[in-house]
Structure 1
Amino acid sequence: MDALTDFLLELDALKLVNRRTYIAGGKRLENSAEHSWHLAMACWLMANHLKRDVSMEKLIKLALVHDLGEIDPGDTFLYDSARNAAPDLERKCVARLAAHGGNTISDLAELWDEQELGNSREAALLKVVDRLLPFLHNLASHGQAWKDHGITKSQVMEAHAFIKDVEPDIYAWFLQNLETAVNNGWLLKN
């Protein structure tokens, strides 16, 4: 039990990782543990809404392990120039967690790799929903995080472009709301 409870406290550290996404219309910044829970719920809801043939158990597991790699290096903002280095740092953290004596999830590292690489139906849907949630939070906060960091429409377009091929209906919704954000001054035109 001691090793298991020690591991649970290791996982609890995800609550200390702050993101740059504002929740509740701008009340405060979200932490990565909250994001993981919200991502799991959103994936479940979205899979049902879209009637996708996915393993719900796998989808939820992928969502729950999605941000564990941020425990050591922290969250890397989507528009950060250091974004390309993040997967390697996060993979090292996940390897450390997977090797922990209290970890009873034998496929922890494999699940994390699957969600990172996006090579299954579940991982592809997760990636779409993971991009959608911060976008939705920015709409709800009138672009607070975008304004904080001087984010432009072209940056948001580039970061969300892959959705067009994976979920065209979601992409159409995204484009409509992107224009609303620009027209309302929540996002720089370019």
Structure 2
Amino acid sequence: MLIGYARVSKTEDQDIDLQRQALKAAGCKRIAEEKASGGRWDRPELHRLLGELDKGDVVVVWKLDRLSRSLRDMLLILDKIEDAGAGFRSITEAIDTTKPAGRMMMQMLGSFAEFERAMLRERTRAGINAARAHGRVGGRQPKLTQPQREEVRAMLAAGRSGADIARLFRVHRATISRIKDEQRTVTRS
């Protein structure tokens, strides 16, 4: 069975009629319609459609960007379609995974996505190494400076409560508790 998926963005004042007409003309018996951003993963109608696919079904979209704006997400969606034993067809781009040429096109897209992920990892690793070479370390900046941490330790030793100290330094009590635990660990060693 041909199952259509039509999507328009919430923020844009778009009309779904053009997509609906094209999907009906393509022979779709059922059309799932959604108002949601293509960059979001939480699209209930799409997930319902993917969950109800049977072997031999074909998911049809008017354009690829109606399915997803992210290549990574699109490939995940296409994997779910393939896992269900179903096919995929895009009317505008003339991609049809039920035919050899369409499957090849999707494999090429997957190869490009894999290449981009590898390049991104490589660039990220190079950036981290360059930052380390300049003395920067990853992770969050500490809430309190070293002198402030020493002051917290002194206040704790003087008997002030963690909640009171947290209010004074405008931090969460857990921050004070971590400093207290660090002090215990150092004392035991």
Q: Name the TM-score, length of structure 2 as normaliser.
A: 0.31
Higher helix share: 1
Q: Name the TM-score, length of structure 1 as normaliser.
A: 0.31
Larger Rg over CA atoms:
2
Higher strand share: 2
Using CA pairs under 8 Å that are at least 6 residues apart, name the structure with larger relative contact order, 1 or 2.
1
